[in-house]
Amino acid sequence: MRLNGQRRWAAAGVVVACAVATFGVALSAPAGAAPGCRVDYTANNWGGGGFGGKVKITNLGDALSNWTLKFTFPGSQRVTQGWSANWTQSGADVTATSMSWNGSLGTGAATEIGFNGSYSGTNTDPATFTLNGTTCTGVVPTSTTTTTTTTSGNPNPNPGNRVDNPYANAKMYVNPDWSAKAAAEPGGSRVANQPTGVWIDRIAAITGTVDGRGIEGHLNEAVRQAAGSPLVIQFVIYNLPGRDCSALASNGELKPTEIDRYKTEYIDPIAAILAKPAYKDLRIVTTVEIDSLPNLITNVTPRPTKVDACDVMKANGNYITGVGYALAKLGAIPNVYNYLDIGHHGWIGWDDNFGPTAELLFQAANASGSTKANVHGFIANTANYGALKEPYFTIDDSVNGTSVRQSKWVDWNRYVDELSYAQAFRQRAVQAGFDANVGMLIDTSRNGWGGSARPTGPGPKTTVDTYVNGGKLDRRIHLGNWCNQSGAGLGERPKAAPAAGIDAYVWMKPPGESDGASKEIPNNEGKGADKMCDPTYTGNIRNGNNMSGALADAPLSGKWFSAQFQELMRNAYPAL
């Protein structure tokens, strides 16, 4: 069910050396406004005549609604690729203009833009910057007016009964249906009391199926478990038309054009149940439509990884329409907390994917009558395997002058684990327009990577690949492998507020529930056979043409997979 590592298909910068120059910049502003700003320019050189540049602009004057940065390279430098601004170069003169999401800079506000470049000879920093036509002065204006910054849209992102972090000081719902299956496994009683997400992956799941009770059954049990105390119950909203356009194993029952059925037969009934007065004291967390919107960034034309079905969904707009509708309907319920899916670092961590995904999520958050106030936060690594933290190497490490970003495993990604990715994405989402107090969840249900294969220290510094491969906790063959991974283990147990900006570590994907079938299995749930779930499959462009790393004899997605559950317990970290 989880997509593939998506390589950035453009030249990338590598940080192996750092030189920082700070410049004061005075900004031209509306009539009567006092200009003033600081620019921090950082050039990071690497071998082969390439470098990465970062420019941080801090507004020390009155508020601006847009900006144009200009500077002149003193040598042969060329901008080859840029992000977070519209970059152009004429001769040695470089211009960067603001984008829709970072043009407004209040007093004291900052934005950071960047680029990759090439050079020959010496890479000397630019001597002068101008912004909106005004040359650097380095002087903080004395006539800056005092202003109050307000957030557009709903000024209170937590209306009704909502708290800032729903997981704080609250119990978490233990699904009795999953708990019974876990407890029936040898050794399973050690984790059978852990809270897990409840997946509503088809219309029939609303009222209940042979695999488990319906939404009201879970909510009634949650009220019982709460016993008057705050309690979080987690639902995965997962039934978009043309669902998960890039992975057959997790295709759904609704065809690409059936947006009306999604609204009236799926979202509306769910919202009606969640809004019942009997459940008003529960904290209901919804993970909204995993593996949907990021596909519209990474798997559409002209990307080399394009999938025809994803082109269809981008063209008809039903992912954006559907997600917006779900957010609006569910967000209208005062005790519901919507968290939007952001994939994982091995999918979205490249420059070409990172910012555009945040901006697309903001578009969806404001579609179909929704506003950004209906998004309480985001969730990373849902049903995936990315390591929470890689302790034995960082993205800034290098071996013999070669950055780890050039290793086959990292492949120019900006992130090496889910915690750094989630924290960075949170900041980028705020830049895209989301409220500053949005929270993050990380699914740690299957990213422990313990057992005998777990490294105990850094890899040998023979080459950058031996260093990364020898020290990485994530033991997958390739970051793009996502189906029932061999060697995976249970990760950090669910907990509230475990790190800065993180609302909780959660087990949103119930351990032991299959990602997809190893071979075709007839079913009426719309779920196909994806080759990435076949352990004999030799791969494709999205996983670097590597073996799939999947366990054999897996059942349909969502069905109980005893061999996987045993594997996860055996390799749990922290160990059971």
Give the dihedral sign, CA 249/255/260/261.
Answer: negative
| Across 12-16, 401-405, 413-417, least confident range | 12-16
Beginning with the edge strand found earlier in the chain, give each strand of the sheet holding 129-131 in spatial order: 86-90, 93-97, 68-72, 129-131, 134-135
Give 469-515 pLDDT, tens digit per residue. Answer: 999 999 999 999 999 999 999 999 999 999 999 999 999 999 999 99
Give the integer Cα–Cα distance in Å for 129 and 148.
28
The pLDDT of residue 2 is above 60:
no
| For range 387-396, the mean pLDDT | 97
* pLDDT of 108 strictly over 70: no
Q: What is the pLDDT of residue 139?
A: 56
Per-residue pLDDT at 453: 94
- In this predicted structure, what is the pLDDT of residue 141? 59
The residue-averaged pLDDT of 124-136 equals: 83
CA-based nearest residue to 471, from 480, 462, 482? 462
**For this structure, is 164 an active site residue?**
no
Q: How confident is the model at residue 156, as a pLDDT?
A: 34
Active site annotation includes 308: no
Range from 7-16, 189-198, 286-295, 515-524 carrying the lowest mean pLDDT: 7-16
In 483-523, which ranges are continuous DSSP H helix? none
- Supply 530's token pair: 């994806």
pLDDT at 283 over 70: yes
Asked whether the predicted pLDDT for residue 30 surpasses 50, the reply is: no
**How confident is the model at residue 161, as a pLDDT?**
67
Report which of 566, 389, 574, 413 is spatially closest to residue 484, judged by C-alpha positions. 566
Question: What's the pLDDT tens digit per position in 172-218?
Answer: 999 999 999 999 999 999 999 999 999 999 999 999 998 889 999 99
Where does 171-388+415-447+489-518+555-570 sit in CATH, by number? 3.20.20.40
- Looking at per-residue pLDDT, the higher value among 145 and 192 belongs to 192
Cα(243)–Cα(265) distance, integer angstroms: 16
Task: Pick 83 or 457 by higher pLDDT.
Answer: 457
Name the average pLDDT for the chain: 88
For the chain, give the percent of residues with pLDDT over 70: 89
More confident call, 56 vs 533:
533
The residue annotated as part of the active site, out of 291, 351, 417, 474, is 291
pLDDT at 178: 97
Do 19-135 and 171-388+415-447+489-518+555-570 show the same overall fold?
no
E-strand ranges in 127-179 read 129-131, 134-135, 171-172
- Provide the whole-model pTM: 0.76
pLDDT for residue 136 = 65
How far is the C-alpha of 50 from the C-alpha of 78, rounded, in Å? 9
Q: Residue 251 has what pLDDT?
A: 83
Given pLDDT bands bounded at 50, 70 and 90, which one contains residue 570? very high
How does pLDDT run across 329-373, given as a tens digit for each residue? Answer: 999 999 999 999 999 999 999 999 999 999 999 999 999 999 999
Q: How confident is the model at residue 13 (pLDDT cuts 50, 70, 90)?
A: very low
* Confidence band of 21 (pLDDT split at 50, 70, 90): very low
Q: What is the pLDDT of residues 301-331, one digit of tens each?
A: 999 989 999 999 999 999 999 999 999 999 9
Catalytic pick from 352, 397, 503, 515? 515
Domain segments of the chain as ranges: 19-135, 171-388+415-447+489-518+555-570
Which CATH number applies to 19-135: 2.60.40.290, 3.40.1360.10, 3.30.1340.30, 1.10.3720.10?
Answer: 2.60.40.290
**Using 50, 70 and 90 to split pLDDT, how confident is the model at 145?**
very low
Give me the pLDDT at residue 33, please: 43
Instruction: Give the model's pLDDT for residue 138.
Output: 65
